[in-house]
């Protein structure tokens, strides 16, 4: 068996093309969706990610504003920035890029963001609405996974889904979305983590395995049931002298081994990653539509 590759890159492109049409329609009615990203400090991955978000916005016609501040910014000054963005009529989405410097309380900053502009889906209000199955801004990475499965006609209803990882960004909201009594959900969910015993045996039960544990090539081929769907959320660097950069990117799944057992599998890169930004844009456009 050779797995079908789930291309997040392809689906994200489709979503952006659909969103571009919606943005043009909004502009025709006098509304330009706006997304503001606050970048504190000089963390290179954060800077790269924010640039990617800004470029993606510009390509589909969303107004993008990046607010950069030094790592030693006072908490009061960051609070003032967020409060200002909350009341600006031209900004529909606000994200404060993680990680923040240690002297800044990241959760406190999240709580300050107006839930109606929380397009990352991290505010407790939106997390709670996700949990009870109400319309809201859903956390972008698990939202992207749900959309990948929908567009590849992978129905989790009645299936056993094993999620590796219990983070607030992926694992927990992923489980909350999958257990809903709703189309594209209705799964039986097991969440495994660092304190779980016999993870390989639990993985072998999975009809759908979602790996978000942050360990390079952690999931091996003999952990996969024949015909399972494998969704790899991880992105890790491994030293590789054969590569020009001296490293290669890989996921939390040993792709070469698991591809032989799975029916569907996401690659790294090009799988889940592009979907996170696509769903951020989706949430931003949805927020702008609320102005109508």
User: How far is residue 76 CA from its own chain's centroid?
Assistant: 29
Residue 120 annotated among the catalytic residues of the structure: yes
Do 268 and 151 belong to one domain?
yes
Pairing between β-strand 236-239 and β-strand 247-250 as defined by DSSP bridges: antiparallel
User: How far is residue 75 CA from its own chain's centroid?
Assistant: 27
Give the integer Cα–Cα distance in Å for 36 and 82: 10
Give the integer Cα–Cα distance in Å for 8 and 219: 20
- Range 233-238 average pLDDT: 93
- The secondary element (H helix, E strand) that includes residue 35 is strand 34-40
Which is the catalytic residue, given 16, 22, 92, 97? 97
Give exposure, 225-235, as e/b (b: 16+ Cβ within 10 Å). beebbbbbbbb
Q: What is the pLDDT of residues 83-129, one digit of tens each?
A: 999 999 999 999 999 999 999 999 999 999 999 999 999 999 999 99
Do 87 and 150 belong to one domain?
no
Do 96 and 177 belong to one domain?
no
Q: How confident is the model at residue 245 (pLDDT cuts 50, 70, 90)?
A: confident
How many independent structural domains does the chain possess? Answer: 2
Residue 53 annotated among the catalytic residues of the structure: yes
CATH number of the domain that residue 198 is part of? 3.40.50.720
Give the integer Cα–Cα distance in Å for 97 and 110: 10
pTM above 0.85, yes or no: yes
Tokens linked to 103? 């002297």
Do 112 and 165 belong to one domain?
no
Which is the catalytic residue, given 16, 22, 53, 225? 53
Q: What residues make up the domain containing 65?
A: 30-120
Give the integer Cα–Cα distance in Å for 5 and 99: 32
Which is the catalytic residue, given 92, 118, 120, 252? 120
Do 177 and 243 belong to one domain?
yes
Residue 254 annotated among the catalytic residues of the structure: no
Within a domain: 265: yes
Give the integer Cα–Cα distance in Å for 206 and 190: 9
CATH number of the domain that residue 70 is part of? 3.40.50.10860
Do 155 and 84 belong to one domain?
no
């Amino acid at each position: 068996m050779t797995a079908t590759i789930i291309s997040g890159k392809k689906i994200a492109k489709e979503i952006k093309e659909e969103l571009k049409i919606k943005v043009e329609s909004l502009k025709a009615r006098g509304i330009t969706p706006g997304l503001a990203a606050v970048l504190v400090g000089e963390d290179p991955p954060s800077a790269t990610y924010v640039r990617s978000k800004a470029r993606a916005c510009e390509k589909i016609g969303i107004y993008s504003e990046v607010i950069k501040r030094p790592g030693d910014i006072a908490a009061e000054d960051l609070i003032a920035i967020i409060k200002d963005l909350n009341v600006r009529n031209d900004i529909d989405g606000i994200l404060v890029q993680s990680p923040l410097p240690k002297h800044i309380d990241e959760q406190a900053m999240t709580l300050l963001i107006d839930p109606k502009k929380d397009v990352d889906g991290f505010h407790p209000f939106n997390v709670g609405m996700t949990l009870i199955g109400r319309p809201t801004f859903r956390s972008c990475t698990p939202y992207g996974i749900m959309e990948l499965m929908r567009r590849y006609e992978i129905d989790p209803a009645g299936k056993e889904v094993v999620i590796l990882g219990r983070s607030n960004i992926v694992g927990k909201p992923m489980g909350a979305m999958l257990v809903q009594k709703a189309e594209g959900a209705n799964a039986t969910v097991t969440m495994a983590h660092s304190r779980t015993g016999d993870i390989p045996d639990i993985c072998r039960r999975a009809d759908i395995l979602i790996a978000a544990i942050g360990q390079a090539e952690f999931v091996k081929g003999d952990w996969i049931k024949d015909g399972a769907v494998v969704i790899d959320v991880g992105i890790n660097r491994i030293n590789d002298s054969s590569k020009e950069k001296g490293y290669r990117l890989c996921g939390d799944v040993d792709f070469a081994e698991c591809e032989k057992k799975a029916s569907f599998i996401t690659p790294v890169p090009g799988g889940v990653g592009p979907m996170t930004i696509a769903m951020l844009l989706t949430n931003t456009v949805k927020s702008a539509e609320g102005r109508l």
